[in-house]
Amino acid sequence: MFVTALELTDFRNYAEAHLALTSGVTVFVGANGQGKTNLVEAIEYLSTASSHRVSSIVPLIRAGCESALVRARVRAGRDDDREILLELEIAQGRQNQARLNRAPLPRPRDLVGMLRTVVFSPVDLAIVRGDPADRRRWIDSLIVTRWPRMAGVKQDYDKVLKQRNALLKAMSGRCATKGAGDDEFSLGIWDEQLAGVGAELLHARLDTLADVRPFAQRAYERIAPVNNRIDARYVSGVDLDGVADAADVRAALQDRLLGQLRSLRAEELRRGVTLAGPHRDDVELMIGELPAKGYASHGESWSLALALRLGGFELVRDDGTEPVLVLDDVFAELDASRRERLADAIRGAEQVLITAAVGADVPEFPAERRFRVEAGSVALEEA
Ligand SMILES: Nc1ncnc2c1ncn2[C@@H]1O[C@H](COP(=O)(O)OP(=O)(O)OP(=O)(O)O)[C@@H](O)[C@H]1O
Ligand SMILES: [Mg+2]
């Protein structure tokens, strides 16, 4: 699929922008702080109903304005001219309003998956160098790109976790006798819920990590000329030994998670938090024989983060969907050989949106289009 038109109203530093896009490679060039990332962020926001840059919506609305509107026309494919119109209205103090072909959708997250994107941006360095939470965000974003309904599962998990933690906290601060029976009963219910939704998330992560691994390995080999063996392994507080061979993997994961919660019960009641589940897991990344975190060089960490995103992109394509590939500020960080190698790797994509402060950093693609971005306005450069 690819975006054929993008319209912004009061989004970030754009008062009004109308952009006609095509399949193939599009490059947005402009000095720092002009609005290149804001443009691709708008596309990411429509695709996922979230931004990797902010958790609150306030910065998305142009300063001094009440609301922002992002609208995109998306075409199904080069050989498939069906189109949909996606809209998201972002307003302070109320839930975002999503529309599909001008018809309102009940929830913003109903928009998720209509437009599939894989975004690589400089903050992705955190996948390699950051905390387990950064790696969990990476694998979860890929899960949602593959299976949009997992966005709901993820939200449900977070909700259940929050409620269970609140109960544990209340119980940990209370003397054991008064109302203890009721609390125990409620906790038992939350255990079941957490294990149920948690197992679904865990299952999706395990499958996705196993599936993306060979694609990421290939992507890394393509980008990095030497020392180019990488690996990724899921690390869980729940014992996963042999679970992949179970007749019903999800049921087996649920049992294991439930067992783990029960064995941690006393400790959880003492500390007032949930100590097992996908929210505490990690993905261990290796380059050669060494862990990437704490060992890899800057260029290696960068290339690994990029390979994980590109691997995800190839996996989604392999699943049968052509996502839009967004590469924000990637080329400036790479040496000349890695730039050419990356350019080679993305040539076949249906739509690639690239941003760069310096145009010369981006190798020229056949039939590419370049836009100049300046102070919240975008203009096509004459070829
Ligand atoms: N809500 C907002 N209202 C007005 N301006 C905003 C808002 N949010 C961000 N900006 C402005 O947008 C600019 C940043 O845009 P963006 O991040 O797209 O830059 P960029 O072109 O990608 O730059 P770089 O090359 O440094 O990555 C900043 O000047 C910032 O002040
Ligand atoms: Mg930027």
Residue 53: pLDDT band (50, 70, 90) is confident
For residue 126 and ligand 1, the question of a CB distance below 6 A is answered with no
Shared domain for 303 and 213, answered yes or no, is yes
Of 298, 320, 342, the position where a domain reaches its end is: 320
Distance of CA 134 from the midpoint of ligand 1 (Å): 23
Tokens 């760069």 belong to residue: 356
Q: Which atom of ligand 1 is nearest to the CA of 355?
A: 22
d(CA 296, CA 251): 38
Look at residue 179 in the predicted model and tell me its pLDDT. Answer: 58
Distance of CA 177 to the CA centre of its chain: 45
Overall average pLDDT of the 79-89 stretch: 97
Shared domain for 10 and 137, answered yes or no, is no
Q: Which atom of ligand 1 is nearest to the CA of 39?
A: 18
The rounded radius of gyration (Å) of the Cα atoms in the chain is: 22
For the stretch 241-291, pLDDT in tens is 999 899 999 999 999 999 999 999 999 999 999 999 999 999 999 999 999
For residue 13 and ligand 1, the question of a CB distance below 6 A is answered with yes
The CATH number linked to 10 is: 3.40.50.300
Least confident of 83-92, 164-173, 175-184: 175-184
Amino acid symbol at 8: L
**Are β-strands 324-328 and 351-356 bridged in parallel, bridged antiparallel, or unpaired?**
parallel
Distance of CA 27 from the midpoint of ligand 2 (Å): 13
CA nearest ligand 1 atom 19, residue: 33
d(CA 376, CA 94): 26
Shared domain for 14 and 102, answered yes or no, is yes
Ramachandran bin of 93, using left for φ above 0, alpha for ψ from -120 to 50, beta for the remaining angles: left
Overall average pLDDT of the 340-368 stretch: 94
The CATH number linked to 293 is: 1.20.1050.90
Residue ranges with CB less than 5 Å from ion ligand 2: 36-37
The pick from 34, 43, 378 for probing ligand 1's pocket by mutation, whose C-beta has the most ligand atoms within 8 angstroms, reads 34
Of 285, 320, 355, the position where a domain reaches its end is: 320
Look at residue 177 in the predicted model and tell me its pLDDT. Answer: 53
Shared domain for 90 and 177, answered yes or no, is no
Shared domain for 306 and 340, answered yes or no, is no
CA nearest ligand 1 atom 16, residue: 35
Amino acid symbol at 224: A
Tally of domains within the chain: 2
For residue 67 and ligand 1, the question of a CB distance below 6 A is answered with no
For the stretch 3-49, pLDDT in tens is 999 999 999 999 999 999 999 999 999 999 999 999 999 999 999 98
Distance of CA 125 from the midpoint of ligand 1 (Å): 20
Estimate the share of the chain in helix, then strand, then coil, as percent rounded to the nearest 5: 45, 25, 30
Distance of CA 374 from the midpoint of ligand 2 (Å): 12
Shared domain for 149 and 212, answered yes or no, is yes
Find the largest Cα–Cα distance for the chain: 78
Mean pLDDT computed over every residue of the chain: 94
Look at residue 342 in the predicted model and tell me its pLDDT. Answer: 92
Shared domain for 188 and 307, answered yes or no, is yes
Shared domain for 134 and 98, answered yes or no, is no
Which residues form the domain of 339? Answer: 1-116+322-383
Query: Is the pLDDT confidence value at 358 over 80?
Result: yes
Look at residue 88 in the predicted model and tell me its pLDDT. Answer: 96
Shared domain for 110 and 248, answered yes or no, is no
d(CA 219, CA 307): 5
Shared domain for 229 and 84, answered yes or no, is no
For the stretch 101-158, pLDDT in tens is 999 999 998 999 999 999 999 999 999 999 999 999 999 999 999 999 999 999 999 9
Shared domain for 155 and 296, answered yes or no, is yes
The pick from 8, 9, 11, 13 for probing ligand 1's pocket by mutation, whose C-beta has the most ligand atoms within 8 angstroms, reads 13
For residue 12 and ligand 1, the question of a CB distance below 6 A is answered with yes
d(CA 194, CA 166): 13
Shared domain for 278 and 144, answered yes or no, is yes
Distance of CA 250 from the midpoint of ligand 2 (Å): 40
Look at residue 175 in the predicted model and tell me its pLDDT. Answer: 61
Distance of CA 355 from the midpoint of ligand 2 (Å): 7
Q: Which atom of ligand 1 is nearest to the CA of 122?
A: 27
Of 320, 338, 373, the position where a domain reaches its end is: 320
For residue 56 and ligand 1, the question of a CB distance below 6 A is answered with no
Residue 178: pLDDT band (50, 70, 90) is low
